[in-house]
């Protein structure tokens, strides 16, 4: 997302500031957080994120893209970590992926609660 696109999304967010909160992105973030206790809820979250992208406003769309990338990269990291458990470094990979996901989910949730778009939803960092 270029700087100009980000500014356009922020302008749209200002226009819709009084609209309803970002309910669905917040639900997905909560499902991702609950997945630390009950892993299956992340699957429900990714399904919601994929389905709701079609009719989302520009601000919500940045959150859904961010959530989608978070899920798929965590799944990939989890699979790599599971394979590397055979050589005993998988635990480090799994812990790193868990921390990475937690940071992204908390950051995204804070942006959603403030009704702000994710500045760069395609980044791999936070």
Question: 102-126 pLDDT, tens per residue?
Answer: 999 999 999 999 999 999 999 988 7
Q: What is the pLDDT of residue 18?
A: 45
Are 41 and 69 in contact, with CB atoms under 8 Å apart? no
Are 100 and 124 in contact, with CB atoms under 8 Å apart? no
Are 24 and 60 in contact, with CB atoms under 8 Å apart? yes
pTM over 0.95: no
Number of domains in the chain: 1
Express each pLDDT in 19-61 by its tens digit: 556 899 999 999 999 999 998 999 999 999 999 998 889 999 9
Asked if the structure places residue 119 within a domain, the reply is no
Are 69 and 61 in contact, with CB atoms under 8 Å apart? no
Asked if the structure places residue 125 within a domain, the reply is no
Instruction: Examine the pLDDT at 6 and tell me if it is beyond 70.
Output: no
Supply the range of the domain harboring residue 20.
Answer: 3-113
Instruction: Examine the pLDDT at 3 and tell me if it is beyond 70.
Output: no
Write down how long the chain is.
126
């Amino acid at each position: 997302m270029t700087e100009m696109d980000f500014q356009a999304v922020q302008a749209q967010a200002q226009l819709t500031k009084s609209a309803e909160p970002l309910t669905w992105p917040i639900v997905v973030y909560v499902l991702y957080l609950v997945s630390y206790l009950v892993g299956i809820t992340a699957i429900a979250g990714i399904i919601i994120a994929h389905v709701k992208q079609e009719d989302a406003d520009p601000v919500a769309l940045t959150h859904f893209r961010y959530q989608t990338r978070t899920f798929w990269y965590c799944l990939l990291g989890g699979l790599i970590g599971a394979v590397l458990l055979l050589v005993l470094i998988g635990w480090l990979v799994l812990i790193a992926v868990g921390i990475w996901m937690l940071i992204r989910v908390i950051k995204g949730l804070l942006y959603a609660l403030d009704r702000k778009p994710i500045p760069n939803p395609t980044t791999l960092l936070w």
